[in-house]
Amino acid sequence: MQKAIVIGAGIAGIATSIRLAVKGYEVHVYEGNSYPGGKLTSIDVGNFRFDAGPSLFTLPNLVNELFDLCGESSVDYFNYDKKDVICNYFWNDGFQYSMPSNIKAIAKSISNSFNLDENEILKYLNKSKEKYELTNSIFIEKSLHKFSTYFSFDTLKALLQSFKLDLFRSLHETNKKVFNNEKVTQLFDRFATYNGSSPYKTSGIMSMIPHLEMGMGTYFPRGGMKSISASIFELAKRQGVHFHFDTMVDEIIVSDGRAIGVRIGKNMINSDLIVSNMDIFSTYHKLLPYINHPNRILNQERSSSALIFYWGIKGIHPELDLHNILFSNDYEGEFDYIFEKKDIHQDPTVYINISSKCNITDAPDNCENWFVMINTPGDFGQDWDELIAIAKKNIINKIRNVLKVDLESIIVEERILDPRLIASTTKSHLGSLYGTSSNNRYSAFYRHPNFSREIKNLYFVGGSVHPGGGIPLCLNSAKIVSNLI
């Protein structure tokens, strides 16, 4: 039996281990932390449970597919519910909007709430779907770094209709052209943050992302987001995958241009192939110090990071749902601070996730668990203690002014996650959430491929390589690697 080693038990690493086990490999996964899931884990703060990382769940079929692959029914181990409300939006002037969960209802509600043409909104949402369907099989499901990808009917079709993709406009320019309303433009601009980018720089092709939420639906996994990684972790173990936690790989061993194993301390462990689920920058700099590095790729601008407050809150707040966004009054200025000034704007956009709205056991009676996040620059050596103190004050003031909630008096528990901790616990370079940003309009082609051109039997999965960050893309990276192997 051939042996495979996977470095890192993030969701992409676990999914890869399952796919390789099904192929007949003896799979060993080495993880430096004491738990599986990478960013997709949970924490307890007092009597409150929080999903620690990703909080949005779309495309559940990608999880179900792993169970199908193993001949199991996902409903026996993993269940989820579709949300009737996608998100509640709030602006500083007191305006509020709650988005329903299907395209026709969305078009109607935006038209009624913002006095816009319903047909124009529906046209935009249908174009979002069309862009997704034109590009999904090329940019997301296959390697962009293999010639075979470009010799297909799907590629020819996409090339012939590339004028529909808004490749040469920014996402903001694309949205502003359609919506004659600053609030609605801002609402659709926010989808740039789904891969840690700026809507004023990233390509208009990113206007396909709304289709994932609005056309295909948002979901909540029963038991919380952690149940995604927990369920496939147990699935992997049932397939015979061996997990080694609290075990840091120190080096990928290369001989005659071929990856032949790993070094852990003084121990050399042989393997027929290696898959790294570690951040690609860290993979090269920590595990492959003796080979030439692809510095042009590794030195690209990184995605945004995050500052997260896990707050246990007294009281129930019916104006809020699972997903809530309080927008900045100066959206362009906020992104300028993140990517140019490497600082936090005084009026940041605030995301509040409250999983206890769906999973009541996540908080004690008459309480809620508020996951409060703002986008930030990565860790470039800023004085984070000072930045956190200022940001906390500004966030609390914003919530007081917009939601009319005196937050300071009802916070009963607190824990903080900042870019320094994200970098140290997940080995993400500079604490970036999605590897490289998509601020370059050709960024999809500049992401590191899922295989090494220089070293045989060495592959890469996860949010820092093709096709990108976020749960669906990480699961697709595992599928791409499995197909390459």
221-272: pLDDT as tens digits? 999 999 999 999 999 999 999 999 999 999 999 999 999 999 999 999 999 9
Sign of torsion over alpha carbons 94, 99, 105, 107: positive
Q: Which CATH class is domain 102-216?
A: mainly alpha
Among 121, 27, 8, 44, smallest CA distance to 482 is for 27
Model pTM above 0.85: yes
The values of phi and psi at residue 412, to 5°, are -110, -20
Query: Six-digit token pair at 306?
Result: 């995050």
What is the C-alpha to C-alpha distance for residues 169 and 207, in angstroms, rounded to an integer? 11
3 state SS of 234: helix
Among 29, 3, 32, smallest CA distance to 282 is for 32
Longest alpha-carbon distance in the chain: 67
DSSP 97-164: EEEESSHHHHHHHHHHHHT--HHHHHHHHHHHHHHHHHHIIIIISS-TTSGGGGSSHHHHHHHHTGGG
What is the C-alpha to C-alpha distance for residues 52 and 357, in angstroms, rounded to an integer? 16
Among 82, 103, 89, 122, smallest CA distance to 189 is for 89
Strands 323-326 and 85-90, bridge-based pairing: parallel
Which residue's entry shows tokens 């004028």? 163
Q: Residues 24, 26, 27, CA angle at the centre, nearest 5°?
A: 110
Which residue's entry shows tokens 């939006």? 89
Query: Six-digit token pair at 201?
Result: 């720089």
302 — alpha (psi -120 to 50), left (phi > 0) or beta?
beta
pLDDT in tens, 109-162: 999 999 999 999 999 999 999 888 877 765 665 444 554 544 454 544 544 454
Mean pLDDT by 10 residues, the chain (485 residues): 97 98 98 95 97 94 97 95 97 97 95 96 94 72 48 48 63 94 97 94 89 94 96 98 98 97 97 97 95 87 96 97 98 98 98 98 98 98 98 98 96 98 92 88 73 95 91 95 94
- Whats the size of the chain, residue-wise? 485
DSSP conformational letter for 456: B
pLDDT in tens, 430-452: 999 998 888 886 665 578 889 99
From residue 70, alpha-carbon distances to 3, 26, 34, 158 in Å are 19, 15, 26, 33
